[in-house]
Amino acid sequence: MNRKRRKWMALVLALVSGGTAGYLAMNYLRQPVQQAVRNQPGATQVALAAHDMTVGSVLSSSDIKMVDWPSKNVPPGYARDAEDIVGHGLIQAVSMNEPLLSNKMASKESGGGLAIVIPEGMRAVSVKVDEVIGVAGFVLPSTRVDVLVTLNPTSEREAATTRVILQNIQTLAAGQTIQRDEEGTPQTVTVITLLVTPEQSEKLTLASTEGRIHLALRNMLDMEEVETDGIRAGMLVRTARPPVVRRSSGPRRESIVTFNGTKRTETTF
């Protein structure tokens, strides 16, 4: 009887021990990674983005979350306190859980918006295009484009000319705005903002005012500029030259020359 009781006691103890070990293991595995990092010596608080943010966004406390990061692997330029970076504008887009580093933020005095992205000596100019001219939505921030303009200096359609006026221009922003047409009907217009020099801004503004702007999307690695002569509408379709018709000056004439002593006589037939 005692032997049977001891077997049951051993079985119960084994079950209790196994259940306790499984429970403890499950709780350990359920602990978040940050808790494991927190328990390690030398953890450092690092500021991360709480959600995706675009260029020009001004950081607020709700945009920032603090997490523990292994001290040996902290990224350079990290922020260790949320209050240190509140009010700074982003000069690069960031994704959720991405560290908010100093090289991605402007100074607090610079504020936010597009202005903090414009380098010194450059200008941002916005032009209106449609979806087709804007390469069907593929012109996005940080892409590079060539700018073409179509002008017609005369009333003749054959004189209409298209030419590349700017090359390898960076796109700062691409969005849509609502405006009304001549009849007052609301319509959606795509607005592209380009980064240009002051001289290029003059050329771009005149081209958008006097003609129609077109954008050609470039390969990001293609930095070469090419020389073009432009093209006129009359050059698109060239007609063949008419055949040359040689006209005879008159009927063919034959002549015979005879001599009688020193006298020369010419007879024409």
Q: Please report which confidence band the pLDDT of residue 154 belongs to, taking 50, 70 and 90 as the band edges.
A: confident
Tokens of 48: 């991360």
The pLDDT value recorded for residue 132 is 53
- Overall pTM > 0.85: no
Q: What is the pLDDT of residues 199-223, one digit of tens each?
A: 999 999 999 888 888 888 889 888 8
Q: Does the structure show a pLDDT above 70 at 40?
A: no
Average pLDDT rounded to a whole number, residues 33-40: 52
57 vs 34, higher pLDDT = 57
Q: Please report which confidence band the pLDDT of residue 145 belongs to, taking 50, 70 and 90 as the band edges.
A: very high
Average pLDDT rounded to a whole number, residues 105-121: 81
Closest CA relative to residue 115, chosen from 95, 90, 146: 90
The pLDDT value recorded for residue 157 is 78
Single-letter amino acid, residue 137: G
Average pLDDT rounded to a whole number, residues 47-53: 93
Closest CA relative to residue 127, chosen from 187, 180, 190: 190
The pLDDT value recorded for residue 30 is 57
